[in-house]
Amino acid sequence: MNESTLDSKDLINEEPGKKSLFDGYKPSTTVLGFLAASIIVFVWSGWIVVSKAGAVSAMTIYDIAALRFGVASIVALPIVLYYRPWKGMPLYRMLVLGSLAGVPYVLLSYAGFTYAPAAHGGVFLNGLLPAFTLLISWLWLSERPGYLQVIGSTVIVAGAWLVASSNNKLELSESWTGDMLFMLAGAVFSVYMLLNRRWNVSVLQVLLCTSLLNGLIYLPIWALLLPSNLAEAQMSHILLQGAYQGLLPTMVGLIMLSYAVRHIGAPATAAMMSAVPCLGAILGLLFLNENLGLNGWLGILLLTPGIIVIAICRKPVK
C-alpha cells in the first residue's frame, strides 16, 4: 500500500485539545523525516515481494488477508480503545473508509500477484496511483490537474505500458489479468485517499477503520465461508505473512508516513515514494528471480520522474 500523492491532512488531524498518537513528541531534524520516508519506501517495496511470495504459496489469498487483519487488529485494539477515535466519526464514514482501504483492496492486490510478477504490483499499484488520483479528482471533484501534472501522468502511463508489455507472449495474457486487478485495486485506493483528505481522517481513525474494523468483519467470514489452506502452509510462511502484512504496512508504515509528512512535507515524502516501483522490481529480481527485461526496466525508469513531477507540482486543495 503506497500513498504517492499525499497531503499533510491525509492521515493527520490535529484538533486543539484532541488526543493524538504524537502528543508530547517534538520533531528533531529534517534528517529524521527523510529517514522515516526511506523506511516507508523499504516497507512498501518489501510488501510487494512478500505479497507475491504469499500469493504463490500453499495459502489462499483469503488466508493472507486473514493473517494481515488478524495481527493488525490485535495490535490496533488497545490503541483504539485507549484513544477512542470513533468519537465524532459517523458510522457510514468508518464503513466506507474500511471498505475502500481494507478487504476489497487487499484481495484485489493479492489476486493480482497470482498472475503478474511482483514488479508489476509496484508499477500498477504504486506507480499509477498518482495518475489515478488526479483523474478521479478531476472527474468526481472537478479539480482540474495542472499542465505539468498532465505531463507527469502521461509519462507514468507510458512507463506502465512498457512494463506491461515486457513479458513474453506465453506470459502476457496472465500478466495482463494481474495488471488489471492491480489497476482496479489502485482505483479503489485512490477513492479512499480522496475521501481521507476531504474528511480529515486522523492516524487513529485510520487504525480503527482499516485495521480493527476490517478484522472484526472479515475474520468471522473467512473462518466460516472462505476457502483456506492455512493448515497445509509452512509455519515459516505463516509467520512471515502475519508479521509483515499485519505489522509493517499497517502500523510501522502508517506512523512513519505521518511523521515524514509532518517534518519534510507531503511533496518531498511523495517524491521519495517514487522509488517504490524501482526498488520493488530490484527486490523481485533478487528474491524471486523475476527479470522484467529491457522494456520493463525502461518503463520503470520512465515512470519514476513522472511520479516525482506530480508529487512536487501538486495544486493546493480548494
| R_g of the chain, CA atoms, integer Å | 19
Please report which confidence band the pLDDT of residue 127 belongs to, taking 50, 70 and 90 as the band edges.
confident
Note whether 290 and 118 are within 8 A (CB): yes
Q: How many domains does the chain have?
A: 1
Q: Does residue 108 belong to any structural domain of this protein? A: yes
| Alpha-carbon gap, residue 70 to 249, rounded angstroms | 14
DSSP 207: I
What pLDDT, on a 0 to 100 scale, did the predictor assign at position 313?
76
pTM to 2 decimals? 0.84
Please report which confidence band the pLDDT of residue 146 belongs to, taking 50, 70 and 90 as the band edges.
confident
Q: Does residue 16 belong to any structural domain of this protein? A: no
Q: What percent of the chain has pLDDT over 70?
A: 86
Q: Which amino acid is at 169?
A: K
Beta-carbon count within 10 A of 73 CB: 21
Please report which confidence band the pLDDT of residue 3 belongs to, taking 50, 70 and 90 as the band edges.
very low
What pLDDT, on a 0 to 100 scale, did the predictor assign at position 170?
44
| Alpha-carbon gap, residue 116 to 120, rounded angstroms | 6
How confident is the model over 68-89, as a mean pLDDT?
A: 94
Query: What would the pLDDT profile of 175-185 be if each residue is shown by its tens digit?
Result: 889 999 999 99
For residue 101 the three cell numbers come to: 482501504
What pLDDT, on a 0 to 100 scale, did the predictor assign at position 4?
41
How confident is the model over 158-171, as a mean pLDDT?
A: 73
Cβ contacts of residue 106 below 8 Å, gap of 6+?
A: 65, 68, 69
Instruction: List the one residue out of 314, 299, 4 whose CA is nearest residue 158.
Output: 299
**133 is in which domain, residue-wise?**
30-312
How confident is the model over 189-210, as a mean pLDDT?
A: 87
Q: Which amino acid is at 188?
A: V
Q: Does residue 172 belong to any structural domain of this protein? A: yes
Burial of residue 162 (number of CB atoms within 10 Å: 0-12, 13-18, 19+): buried
Instruction: List the one residue out of 269, 245, 204, 203 whose CA is nearest residue 35.
Output: 269
How confident is the model over 66-70, as a mean pLDDT?
A: 96
DSSP, collapsed to helix, strand or coil, labels residue 239 as helix
Query: What would the pLDDT profile of 18-35 be if each residue is shown by its tens digit?
Result: 555 545 555 455 788 888
What pLDDT, on a 0 to 100 scale, did the predictor assign at position 226?
97
Query: What would the pLDDT profile of 248-282 be if each residue is shown by its tens digit?
Result: 987 888 778 777 877 777 667 777 888 899 999 99
| Alpha-carbon gap, residue 129 to 3, rounded angstroms | 8
Note whether 45 and 100 are within 8 A (CB): no
Tell whether the model's pLDDT for residue 77 goes beyond 90.
Answer: yes
What pLDDT, on a 0 to 100 scale, did the predictor assign at position 78?
96
Instruction: List the one residue out of 117, 109, 118, 106 whose CA is nearest residue 174.
Output: 117
Q: Does residue 225 belong to any structural domain of this protein? A: yes
Average pLDDT, the chain: 84
Q: Does residue 254 belong to any structural domain of this protein? A: yes
Residue in this structure with the C-alpha cell 487513529, named with its chain if needed: 204
Phi-psi sector, 24: left (phi>0), alpha (psi -120 to 50), beta? left
What pLDDT, on a 0 to 100 scale, did the predictor assign at position 20?
52
Q: Does residue 7 belong to any structural domain of this protein? A: no
| Alpha-carbon gap, residue 190 to 134, rounded angstroms | 9
What pLDDT, on a 0 to 100 scale, did the predictor assign at position 129?
83
| Alpha-carbon gap, residue 40 to 42, rounded angstroms | 5
Q: Does residue 80 belong to any structural domain of this protein? A: yes
How confident is the model over 210-235, as a mean pLDDT?
A: 95
What pLDDT, on a 0 to 100 scale, did the predictor assign at position 13?
46
Range name among 46-60, 78-92, 288-302 with the lowest pLDDT average:
288-302
Instruction: List the one residue out of 308, 77, 121 whose CA is nearest residue 213.
Output: 77
Q: Does residue 3 belong to any structural domain of this protein? A: no
